[in-house]
């Protein structure tokens, strides 16, 4: 890493997850080996092959879920809740927690030098939004007549309906509620979006365009339409009706697929001198990031090569060697193919080390949170650094010979002095960020 590069640290954490709201709840669950997977309650699973998921159980979308707020912020957010879908609400809540944790409120810093960047999934409307309009378009036989939609159905839709589901809204809301007038951006790259958002926040500060950035991501795979898509297109864990907590099994020989989840995470990323001048807590220092994609003909994803390439690029960007990495926080999707491809990539880059690099995966505790997973997983590893204890992969019982990694199997592993967080999409878009202890 160039000695002239502006140093960038993380000074605030915020999380909404199946393990609870706030970092204390998350760390307690990781330390005690408690899963956030349980029976699906968000909607009826009657026609689906899965009836369990990792919901953000404690998040109700009420103002008390948004952490410490000023009276003005409470008033504004309470009013704005009707303009936010659940993903937006979780994203804003995580950001407010991170800002509060860092001790940043309106007036603390020059608002022109503070921005926000957020990753998200594509946000889909819930079917209930269309109910009244559809009812107005039924013919005498009770069948929907699309030709009547423009005249009779659409006027029944709320004029603010679309604002609830735009993927740029989390970053917009956060900037408005906190008077952040600096760079603002939104990333819609599914599971890869979180690390891309963190990386772009990092580079925005390195380039000197801002001194602080709220960086985060929010997502869900628990949604009537998204769940149907997942059932049809992806490999889901099934057969765990009596033991939902045992369903997510990254890198285990007997894994059968991913678990659907929801959540959001955010961090305050800050230039070192700014953080030190405020006496802010420092959780870690970002030293590099990268993204990559790989595909064969007809756009067939090559996640293995995308993951390998992004690991190589992140190390180069950080000026680090494979031996410098304390642990890898793997994507750990728990599908048979993705885990095998990820393990191959890790082995390609780290296989020649004198000591194997420990690999963990928080998805074993809460499944796939969509875009929100990457930041939540980064926060989990930051907490491991703070507590000097790397949490094990939950449900990892039988090593898979096709996954040649040093999977963390108990709670007595040293997290080391740094980590790389790794994520990838089904389309072969990979992203990574490297963070080390500060000091």
The pLDDT of residue 299 is 84
**3-class SS at 420?**
strand
* Dist CA 91 CA 81 (whole Å): 12
Burial of 140 (0-12, 13-18, 19+ CB in 10 A): exposed
Which residue, among 118, 101, 228, 224, has the nearest Cα to 167 in the 3D structure?
118
Reported as a pLDDT band with limits 50, 70 and 90, residue 3 is: low
Reported as a pLDDT band with limits 50, 70 and 90, residue 237 is: very high
> To which residue do tokens 């008077």 refer?
179
How big is the chain by its Cα radius of gyration, in Å? 21
Angle ∠(107,108,109) on CA atoms, nearest 5: 95
The pLDDT of residue 187 is 95
High-pLDDT (> 70) share of the chain, %: 99
227: pLDDT strictly greater than 70:
yes
Give 326-371 pLDDT, tens digit per residue: 999 999 999 999 999 999 999 999 999 999 999 999 999 999 999 9
Reported as a pLDDT band with limits 50, 70 and 90, residue 47 is: confident
* Dist CA 13 CA 98 (whole Å): 4
φ/ψ bin of 84: left (φ > 0), alpha (ψ from -120 to 50), beta (otherwise): beta
1: pLDDT strictly greater than 70:
no
Which residue, among 365, 374, 372, 387, has the nearest Cα to 330 in the 3D structure?
374
Angle ∠(88,93,98) on CA atoms, nearest 5: 130
Reported as a pLDDT band with limits 50, 70 and 90, residue 159 is: confident
* Dist CA 196 CA 390 (whole Å): 24
The pLDDT of residue 410 is 87
Which residue, among 96, 104, 61, has the nearest Cα to 81 in the 3D structure?
61
- Listed by start position, the domains of the chain span 8-125+161-436
The pLDDT of residue 49 is 86
DSSP letter at 123 equals P
**3-class SS at 279?**
coil
Average pLDDT on 202-220 reads 97
> To which residue do tokens 């064969």 refer?
296
The answer to whether the beta carbons of residues 31 and 411 sit under 8 Å apart is yes
DSSP letter at 162 equals G
CATH of 8-125+161-436, one of 3.30.70.270, 3.90.1170.50, 3.40.50.2300, 3.40.47.10: 3.40.47.10
Which residues, 6+ apart, have CB-to-CB distance to 243 below 8 Å? none
Relative to beta strand 418-424, strand 327-329 is: parallel
Please list the residues that pair with 421 across neighbouring strands.
Answer: 329, 433
Average pLDDT on 61-71 reads 94
The pLDDT of residue 412 is 86
308: pLDDT strictly greater than 60:
yes
Reported as a pLDDT band with limits 50, 70 and 90, residue 239 is: confident
């Amino acid at each position: 890493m160039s000695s002239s590069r502006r140093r960038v640290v993380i000074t605030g954490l915020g999380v909404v997850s199946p393990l609870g709201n706030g970092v204390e709840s998350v760390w307690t669950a990781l330390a005690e080996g408690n899963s956030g997977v349980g029976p699906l309650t968000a909607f009826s699973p009657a026609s689906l092959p899965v009836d369990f998921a990792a919901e953000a159980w404690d998040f109700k979308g009420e103002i008390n879920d948004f952490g410490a707020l000023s009276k003005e912020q409470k008033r504004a957010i309470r009013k704005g809740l009707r303009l936010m879908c659940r993903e937006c609400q979780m994203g804003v809540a995580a950001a407010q927690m991170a800002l509060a944790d860092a001790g940043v409120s309106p007036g603390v810093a020059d608002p022109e030098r503070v921005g926000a960047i957020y990753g998200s999934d594509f946000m889909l409307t819930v079917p209930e939004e269309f109910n009244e309009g559809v009812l107005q378009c039924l013919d005498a036989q009770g069948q929907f007549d699309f030709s009547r939609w423009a005249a009779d159905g659409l006027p029944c839709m709320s004029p603010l309906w679309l604002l609830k589901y735009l993927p740029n809204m989390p970053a917009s809301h956060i900037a408005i509620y906190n008077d952040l007038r600096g760079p603002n951006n939104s990333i819609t790259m599914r599971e890869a979006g979180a690390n891309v958002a963190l990386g772009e926040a990092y580079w925005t500060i390195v380039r000197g365009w801002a001194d602080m950035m709220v960086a985060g991501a929010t997502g869900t795979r628990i949604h009537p339409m998204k769940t149907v898509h997942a059932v049809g297109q992806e490999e889901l864990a099934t057969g765990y009706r009596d033991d939902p907590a045992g369903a997510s099994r990254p890198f285990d020989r007997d894994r059968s697929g991913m678990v659907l989840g929801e959540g959001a995470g955010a961090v305050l990323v800050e230039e070192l001198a700014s953080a030190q001048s405020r006496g802010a807590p420092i959780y870690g220092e970002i030293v590099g990031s990268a993204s990559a994609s790989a595909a064969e003909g007809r756009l067939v994803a090559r996640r293995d090569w995308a993951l390998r390439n992004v690991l190589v690029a992140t190390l180069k960007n950080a000026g680090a060697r494979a031996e410098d990495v304390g642990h890898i926080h793997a994507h750990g999707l728990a599908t048979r193919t993705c885990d095998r491809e990820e393990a191959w990539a890790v082995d390609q880059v780290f296989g020649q080390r004198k000591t194997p690099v420990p690999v963990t995966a928080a998805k074993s505790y809460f499944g796939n949170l969509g875009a929100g997973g990457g930041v939540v997983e980064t926060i989990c590893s930051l907490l491991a650094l703070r507590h000097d204890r790397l949490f094990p992969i939950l449900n990892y019982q039988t090593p898979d010979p096709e996954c040649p990694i040093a999977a963390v199997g108990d709670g007595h592993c040293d997290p080391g002095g740094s980590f790389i967080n790794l994520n990838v999409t089904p389309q072969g878009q990979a992203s990574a960020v490297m963070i080390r202890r500060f000091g």
